[in-house]
Amino acid sequence: MGAVVRDVAELLVVVALGGMVVTVVRRLLAGQLRVYRCAVCARPTSRGYPRCRHCGCEQPDAL
């Protein structure tokens, strides 16, 4: 019984990951993905950190 539950859980994870990949590819092909760029150096950076990792500039909160 434990192996069946494990296999079903694994299948659900694979289906969920596959769905996420398909969604990202569709958005990429449709041009709906936008790269967040630093306001000073214009290099791609993460919105998850308060400072740009390239130039150290403080990033604005608003996109």
Reported as a single tens digit per residue, the pLDDT across 18-30 is 999 999 999 999 9
Is there a single domain that holds both residue 40 and residue 63?
yes
What was the pLDDT predicted at 18?
97
What is the residue range of 46's domain?
35-63
Is there a single domain that holds both residue 46 and residue 60?
yes
Instruction: For 28-56, write each residue's pLDDT tens digit.
Output: 999 998 888 888 999 998 888 889 989 98
The first and second tokens of residue 37, run together, are: 């760029």
Is there a single domain that holds both residue 24 and residue 47?
no
Is there a single domain that holds both residue 28 and residue 39?
no
* Nearest 10 degrees: Cα torsion 40, 44, 48, 53: -60
Is there a single domain that holds both residue 1 and residue 12?
yes
Is there a single domain that holds both residue 13 and residue 39?
no
Residue in the structure block whose two tokens are 């596959």: 18
Q: Residue 4 above 60 pLDDT?
A: yes
Encode 5-53 in three state secondary structure: HHHHHHHHHHHHHHHHHHHHHHHHHHCCCCCCECCCCCCECCCCCCECC
Number of domains in the chain: 2
